[in-house]
């Protein structure tokens, strides 16, 4: 008898399911968050100011996602309508030591972080006597430690409340399937609490798919992906040197190994945002011998959120749609229109890379590269789809 095939356990991601995910800009007060928000979104929302808590309510804006594939498709089809992908970004009020116990804008701030799916953490590594530091001096390692601890302390509070609620339910006892599940959930919550109290961030833990199902409804702050943006002066960014960087990198290696780290000069990005044309920006960057960090920051965030893209193309419209990697064809169809998921029949599929290589659809057809896929097909990043669906029921 042939051995049974091992059943591959499906990986469940930490965080909210769905395709409309949001990222938030987080950091201590006066580290450059609102200035970054204005530069990355190219809008005047946000409130850069030289005093703590200039931002109170979070501002929201959508950022265009740079993608050469989308640009190439627009060039090829010259469509009447062009719709690129977007990333939603929030500018969140500055954190302060003691926020977890309500200091500063404490609880409001932490609830705003809870509402986003991933974090851009801005770390100040520039000296400027004109811009005050809420802790009195520039010490990025201390700042990193404050934020890490405040988020973890708040998570411990969330988890302790969840454990208390869980114990009230399991005290009833019994052998039902529902009670078995409640006891499993309680054991998971206890493990999460121990992990946090030992100084761990939830995103760094090894969790089974079942545990992830229990963890996700807690919306824990330390479960969210983090991208560290190291904010340098323009001079340090250009010369690629900064006195604080070795200590910062050491801290991240010890406390957040594997999280993306990017140097950025927010004051340079803000200055570039005031240029009239892209040509002027390009010329200035060439003169300085550097590149803007913003496009990479946006694409790195999409990767951290495990987001990918598929395209719909034609002379009427070229559109880039955002989905979570691992999304099946009917759910991808539902991103285009809710009814398409329910009435999905099949998808005609080919990938952008094959189209670019062969040049046009007639060549794809001749070489058998156009596929017909059903409900179990997992849409790949860069797929070009034509969805076939039935009529929606009235």
Handedness of CA 17, 229, 90, 104 (dihedral sign): positive
Distance CA 268, CA 288 (A): 11
Q: Residue 368 annotated as binding?
A: no
* Position 309 in a domain: no
* Position 394 in a domain: no
Distance CA 244, CA 6 (A): 49
DSSP sequence for 156-199: HHHHHHHHHHHHHHHTT----HHHHHHHHHHHHHHHHHHHHHTT
Task: Give the pLDDT confidence score for residue 133 in this predicted structure.
Answer: 57
What is the helix (H) or strand (E) element at residue 61, kind and residue range?
strand 59-64
Could you give the count of Cα atoms lying within 13 Å of 251 in the half-sphere of its Cβ? 19
Q: CATH no. for residue 370?
A: 3.10.20.30
DSSP sequence for 310-360: EEE-SSSEEEEEEEETT-BHHHHHHHH-HHHHHTEEEEEEEEHHHHHHH-S
Q: Residue 35 annotated as binding?
A: yes
Task: Give the pLDDT confidence score for residue 392 in this predicted structure.
Answer: 65
* Position 312 in a domain: no
* Position 12 in a domain: no
Q: CATH no. for residue 139?
A: 3.40.50.300
Task: Give the pLDDT confidence score for residue 281 in this predicted structure.
Answer: 94
**Domain check: are 270 and 342 in the same one?**
no
What is the helix (H) or strand (E) element at residue 152, kind and residue range?
helix 140-170
Phi and psi angles of residue 222, each rounded to the nearest 5 degrees, phi first = -80, 0
Residues 313/73, Cβ–Cβ less than 8 Å? yes
Identify any residues that bridge with 86 across adjacent strands, giving them in sequence order: 64
| Token digits of residue 254 | 């010890």
CA distances from 376 to 330, 345, 384 (A): 8, 11, 17
**Domain check: are 225 and 368 in the same one?**
no
| Token digits of residue 313 | 């193309």
Identify any residues that bridge with 23 across adjacent strands, giving them in sequence order: 89, 118
Q: Residue 32 annotated as binding?
A: yes
pLDDT in tens, the chain (394 residues): 555 554 445 567 788 877 788 999 988 878 888 889 888 887 654 444 333 333 334 578 888 999 999 999 999 999 999 999 999 998 887 776 665 555 444 456 677 788 899 999 999 998 876 665 555 578 999 999 999 998 999 899 999 999 999 999 888 877 788 889 999 999 999 999 999 999 999 999 999 999 999 999 999 999 999 999 999 999 999 999 999 999 999 999 999 999 999 999 999 999 999 998 999 999 999 999 999 999 999 999 999 999 999 999 999 999 999 999 999 999 999 999 989 999 999 999 999 999 999 998 999 999 999 999 999 999 999 999 999 998 766 5
Q: How many domains would you assign to the chain?
A: 2
**Domain check: are 50 and 137 in the same one?**
yes
Task: Give the pLDDT confidence score for residue 15 in this predicted structure.
Answer: 86
- Structural domain boundaries enclosing 52: 22-303
Task: Give the pLDDT confidence score for residue 128 in this predicted structure.
Answer: 74
Handedness of CA 83, 85, 87, 88 (dihedral sign): positive
Q: What Rg value do the Cα atoms of the chain yield, rounded?
A: 24
pTM given for the model? 0.86
Residues 323/331, Cβ–Cβ less than 8 Å? yes
- b/e string for 224-258 if b means 16 or more Cβ within 10 A? bbbbbbbbbbbebbeeeebebbeebeebbeebbee
Residues 66/147, Cβ–Cβ less than 8 Å? no
* Position 15 in a domain: no
Residues 27/95, Cβ–Cβ less than 8 Å? yes
Q: Residue 33 annotated as binding?
A: yes
**Domain check: are 52 and 177 in the same one?**
yes
* Position 185 in a domain: yes
Distance CA 194, CA 61 (A): 37
Could you give the count of Cα atoms lying within 13 Å of 16 in the half-sphere of its Cβ? 14
**Domain check: are 281 and 365 in the same one?**
no
Residue of 259, 303, 306 whose CA lies nearest to 121: 259
**Domain check: are 335 and 279 in the same one?**
no
Give CA angle at 12 (261, 178), nearest 5°: 140
**Domain check: are 223 and 367 in the same one?**
no
Task: Give the pLDDT confidence score for residue 58 in this predicted structure.
Answer: 52
Distance CA 199, CA 205 (A): 11
Q: How would you list the strands of the sheet with 81-83, edge to edge?
A: 81-83, 317-324, 307-312, 383-389, 344-351, 371-373
């Amino acid at each position: 008898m042939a051995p049974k095939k091992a059943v591959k356990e499906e990986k469940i991601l930490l965080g909210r399911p769905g395709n409309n995910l949001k990222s938030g800009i987080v950091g201590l007060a006066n580290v450059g968050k609102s200035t970054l928000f204005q530069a990355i979104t190219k809008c005047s929302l946000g409130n850069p100011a030289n005093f703590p808590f200039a931002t109170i309510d979070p501002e929201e804006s959508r950022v265009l996602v740079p993608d050469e594939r989308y640009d190439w498709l627009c060039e090829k089809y010259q469509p009447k309508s062009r719709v690129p992908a977007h990333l939603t970004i929030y500018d969140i009020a500055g954190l302060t030591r003691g926020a977890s116990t309500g200091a500063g804008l404490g609880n409001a701030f932490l609830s705003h972080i809870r509402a986003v799916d991933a974090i851009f953490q801005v770390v100040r590594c520039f000296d400027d006597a004109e811009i005050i530091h809420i802790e009195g001096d520039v010490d990025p390692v201390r700042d990193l430690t404050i934020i890490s601890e405040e988020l973890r302390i708040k998570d411990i509070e969330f988890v302790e409340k969840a454990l208390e609620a869980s114990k009230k339910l399991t005290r009833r006892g019994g052998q039902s399937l529902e009670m078995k599940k409640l006891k499993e959930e309680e054991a998971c919550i206890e493990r999460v609490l121990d992990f946090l109290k030992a100084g761990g961030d939830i995103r760094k833990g090894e969790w089974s798919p079942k545990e992830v199902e229990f963890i996700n409804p807690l919306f824990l702050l330390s479960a969210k992906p983090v991208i560290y943006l190291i904010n340098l002066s323009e001079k340090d960014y250009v010369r690629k040197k900064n006195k604080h960087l070795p200590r910062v990198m050491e801290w991240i290696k010890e406390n957040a190994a594997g999280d993306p780290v990017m140097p950025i000069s927010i004051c340079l990005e803000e200055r570039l945002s005031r240029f009239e044309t892209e040509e002027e920006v390009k010329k200035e960057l060439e003169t300085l011998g550097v590149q803007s960090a913003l496009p990479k920051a946006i694409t790195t965030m999409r990767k951290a959120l495990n987001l990918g893209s598929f395209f719909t193309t034609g002379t009427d419209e070229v559109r880039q749609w955002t989905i979570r990697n691992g999304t099946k064809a009917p759910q991808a169809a539902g991103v285009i229109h809710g009814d398409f998921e329910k009435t999905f029949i099949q998808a005609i599929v080919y990938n952008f890379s094959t189209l670019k290589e062969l040049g046009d659809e007639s060549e794809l057809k001749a070489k058998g590269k156009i596929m017909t896929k059903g409900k179990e097909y997992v849409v790949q990043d860069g797929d070009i789809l034509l969805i076939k669906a039935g009529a929606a029921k009235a």
